[in-house]
Amino acid sequence: MNRLLILGSGTFALETLDIAELAGELEPVGFVNSLERPPRGAQHGGLPLYWADALPFGPGECLLVAGIVSPLRHAFVAQMEARGYRFVTVRHPAATISPRAVLAAGCVVNAGVVVSSFSVIGPHTILNRGCLIGHHNRIGACCTVGPGANLAGGVELGAGVFVGVGAVVSDHLCIGAGATVAAGAVVTKPVAAGSFVVGAPARALRSGALLEAQHDER
């Protein structure tokens, strides 16, 4: 059985551990922190917490997955890929994935997720509890689709899109890279890259640093 290291030291990293253990195909052996060096002997969820620059396992000795919701995910993944580490998708046994869907390496798929036919999920994307991905979706790298969100058919998410809890995106819409769809929003028109949209129907907000806590690794 391959060993698994989970990037991150927040609550979603613990949830990723649960998913990996329930899937039963990998042996989780620890968590990896990039923000600060953990104290000697530090643990997270009962497993060792390692510093990214002092891992006891080389690239050929374990697989990685990123249990990080925050925008830090992209840089951390790139750092580890540059060192030669390989990533693996972790899928909860209670998720339903069409045999005609494609999931790239490094995804985390939580319980109750449904991915319909001919959808393509980019690398290091998080599909959280009970979200619904319709047919022919194209989801970019390092996206997050929150619990209970519903993406209808033919939706396209650019890289790094965050879709909040219970949000709905109508058919054949494009959400530009780096955009945020707030919890409960109903998107009926395309969303420009980097936008933050709220409400039903969704509209863009124009000011402020908006709800960064949604992306908090913890």
Residue 69 · residue 6 · CB < 8 Å: no
Measure CA 211 to chain center. 18
Predicted confidence (pLDDT) per residue in 146-203, tens digit: 999 999 999 999 999 999 999 999 999 999 999 999 999 999 999 999 999 999 999 9
pTM recorded for the entire structure: 0.92
- Domains defined for the chain, CATH in brackets: 2-88 (3.40.50.20), 89-200 (2.160.10.10)
Gap between the Cα atoms of 189 and 195, Å rounded: 12
pLDDT tens digits, 60-92: 999 999 999 998 999 999 999 999 999 999 999
